[in-house]
């Protein structure tokens, strides 16, 4: 009966209850549900995002292809229904291809979230010998640690998180994180976040941890243009001359709200592993590098010059979306991302079989168990009552494939990709 309604009403019903099973009734509603995310992309980011997506297409499609290891059948259903191929030869329109038009939900999540992986040019440390850079930054011994990154963010609410590994971790409690942007009047708005002063005692050692630093909001610009994003500067710096040593920074996460981090007030979660290959998705890292380069117009933060009164002024700031894709590979593109999985050499990053092997390694690896630390006992009890006791799984000796007690994220995928929201 519902299939006989006008398409406009069907779309309205899907938008009113996107979490319902209506999208799974048949392929028609599944296609409508996918198309709703394209509409949401335009509404959220502005019409200029289309030109940006076309420029970043090679890196976008490479990452989306890795998702076939977890969603091949659903993507194929959309691609077959829409008559898509992995090229533009038939249509001439760059976005009317497989891995794009059949993946709007995942493309929206990539654009809405920003996972800022470690890049050499973003960090300042007193002596080069005091840190190691290999897809992550490892701090051995330094008194000077600063980080700055300009990114384009859609209006909305966000969590600020950091993914790191603690060896012994001195000095993290004296680090300040700051979000800055200009409001519609040209005034600088700043929101500051401080890790717990006893963070070295709170976080477990020799394990990957994702720590929630705080929450912030980006307001909607009053001016109506083809670009609805705001340029936001993320700054990390020390607030005292204290020695910092014994930790690795894998990424800083700007993520939309989620049930785990917000409804259950999570402080951090941890995984019993430190190998960066399990936490840094190289195709995803390359995509965000390319996206930031193209959105910002160059690969670096806005050029600035110092004035005599200790103020700063932007100069030569390129227009939004003016970066050129041919500049990205010379900027800082990781082309050796398919070197090995363990001891197995798996070949060319442009080869579909190599992409499939890497995707299987990253998304279907042995890591599954997580330990969750909540800010309150009440929130922990609420989580356990709904999903089961994660500590019973954590205390098992190994990832033996036995059924887990905790049913939250049973496929262990949510922490491996940007947060996927609903309409």
CATH number of the domain where residue 202 is located: 2.60.120
Say if residue 164 is in the same domain as residue 94: no
- Please give the residue range of the domain that contains residue 259: 114-280+338-366
Q: Looking at the whole model, is its pTM more than 0.85?
A: yes
Contacts (Cβ under 8 Å, ≥6 apart) of 335? 329, 349
Residue at a domain's end among 347, 366, 385: 366
116: pLDDT strictly greater than 70: yes
Say if residue 240 is in the same domain as residue 142: yes
308: pLDDT strictly greater than 70: no
Q: How many CB atoms lie within 10 A of CB 348?
A: 10
Residues 209 and 247: their CA atoms lie apart, in Å, by: 11
What's phi and psi for 125, nearest 5 deg? -135, 145
The total domain count for the chain is 2
Report if residue 304 sits inside a domain. Answer: no
Map tokens 């059924």 to a residue.
403
Say if residue 102 is in the same domain as residue 160: no
Say if residue 84 is in the same domain as residue 169: no
Taking alpha carbons only, the member of 301, 263, 266, 258 closest to residue 116 is 301
Say if residue 226 is in the same domain as residue 349: yes
Report if residue 238 sits inside a domain. Answer: yes
Say if residue 344 is in the same domain as residue 254: yes
Say if residue 154 is in the same domain as residue 106: no
Say if residue 45 is in the same domain as residue 96: yes
Res. 169 pLDDT band, cuts 50 70 90: confident
Q: How far is CA 343 from CA 10, 272, 338, 339, 346, in A?
A: 51, 20, 12, 9, 9
Report if residue 29 sits inside a domain. Answer: yes
Q: What angle do CA 235, 168, 129 make, to 5 degrees?
A: 65
* Average pLDDT, integer, range 131-151: 82
Whole-number pLDDT of residue 330:
44
What's phi and psi for 76, nearest 5 deg? -65, -35
DSSP E strands in 198-345: the ranges are 208-218, 230-238, 245-255, 266-271, 304-306, 312-314, 340-341, 344-345
Report if residue 301 sits inside a domain. Answer: no
234: pLDDT strictly greater than 60: yes
Whole-number pLDDT of residue 409:
93
Q: Is 151 left (phi over 0), alpha (psi -120 to 50) or beta?
A: beta
Say if residue 135 is in the same domain as residue 270: yes
Structure tokens at 220: 């909607």
Report if residue 185 sits inside a domain. Answer: yes
- DSSP label at residue 207: S
Report if residue 193 sits inside a domain. Answer: yes
Say if residue 21 is in the same domain as residue 142: no
Say if residue 186 is in the same domain as residue 270: yes
Per residue in 316-328, pLDDT (tens digit) is 678 899 998 888 7
Q: How far is CA 273 from CA 87, 138, 201, 380, in A?
A: 39, 16, 19, 23
Report if residue 79 sits inside a domain. Answer: yes
Taking alpha carbons only, the member of 252, 321, 320 closest to residue 114 is 252
- Run of H or E residues at 105: helix 104-112
What's phi and psi for 212, nearest 5 deg? -80, 120
Residue at a domain's end among 84, 110, 136: 110
Per residue in 49-97, pLDDT (tens digit) is 999 999 999 999 999 999 999 999 999 999 999 999 887 555 568 999 9
Per residue in 172-227, pLDDT (tens digit) is 778 899 999 999 888 999 999 998 888 888 899 999 999 999 999 999 988 767 99
Residues 182 and 184: their CA atoms lie apart, in Å, by: 7
Residue at a domain's end among 63, 79, 110: 110
Report if residue 23 sits inside a domain. Answer: yes
Structure tokens at 44: 């959220």
Res. 14 pLDDT band, cuts 50 70 90: confident
Share of the chain above pLDDT 90, in %: 53
Residues 358 and 352: their CA atoms lie apart, in Å, by: 10
């Amino acid at each position: 009966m519902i299939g006989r309604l006008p398409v406009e009403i069907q779309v309205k019903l899907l938008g009113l209850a996107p979490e319902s099973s209506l999208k799974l009734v048949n392929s028609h509603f599944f296609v409508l549900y996918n198309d709703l995310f394209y509409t949401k992309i335009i509404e959220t980011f502005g019409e200029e995002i289309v030109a940006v997506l076309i420029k970043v297409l090679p890196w976008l499609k490479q990452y989306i292809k890795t998702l076939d290891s977890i969603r091949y059948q659903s993507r194929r259903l959309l691609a077959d229904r829409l008559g898509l191929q992995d090229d533009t030869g038939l249509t001439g329109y760059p976005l009317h291809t497989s891995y794009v038009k059949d993946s709007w939900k995942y493309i929206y999540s990539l654009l809405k979230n920003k996972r800022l992986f470690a890049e050499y040019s973003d960090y300042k440390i007193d002596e080069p010998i005091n840190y190691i850079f290999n897809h992550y930054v490892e701090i051995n011994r330094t008194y000077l640690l600063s980080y700055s990154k300009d990114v384009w963010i859609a209006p909305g609410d966000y969590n600020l998180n950091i993914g790191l590994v603690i060896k012994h971790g001195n000095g993290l409690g004296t680090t300040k994180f700051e979000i800055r942007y200009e409001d519609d009047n040209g005034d600088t708005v700043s929101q500051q976040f401080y890790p717990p002063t006893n963070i070295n005692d709170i976080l477990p050692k020799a394990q990957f941890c994702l720590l929630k630093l705080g929450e912030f909001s980006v307001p909607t610009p009053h001016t109506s243009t083809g670009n609805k994003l705001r340029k936001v500067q993320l700054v990390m710096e020390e607030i005292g001359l204290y020695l910092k040593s014994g930790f690795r920074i894998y990424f800083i996460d700007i993520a939309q709200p989620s049930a785990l981090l917000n409804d259950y007030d999570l402080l951090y979660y941890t995984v019993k592993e430190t190998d960066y290959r399990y936490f840094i998705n190289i195709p995803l890292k390359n995509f965000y590098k390319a996206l930031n380069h193209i959105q910002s117009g160059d690969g670096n933060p806005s050029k600035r010059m110092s004035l005599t009164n200790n103020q700063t002024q932007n100069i030569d700031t390129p227009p939004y979306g003016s970066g050129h894709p041919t500049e990205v590979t010379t900027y800082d593109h990781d082309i050796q991302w398919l070197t090995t999985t363990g001891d197995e050499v798996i070949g060319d990053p442009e080869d579909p079989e190599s992409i499939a092997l890497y995707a299987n390694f990253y998304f279907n690896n042995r890591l599954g168990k997580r330990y969750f630390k909540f800010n309150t006992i009440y929130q922990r009890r609420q989580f356990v009552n709904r999903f089961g006791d994660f500590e019973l799984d954590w205390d098992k000796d190994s990832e033996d494939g036995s059924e887990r007690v905790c049913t939250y994220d049973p496929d262990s995928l949510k922490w491996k990709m940007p947060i996927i929201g609903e309409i």
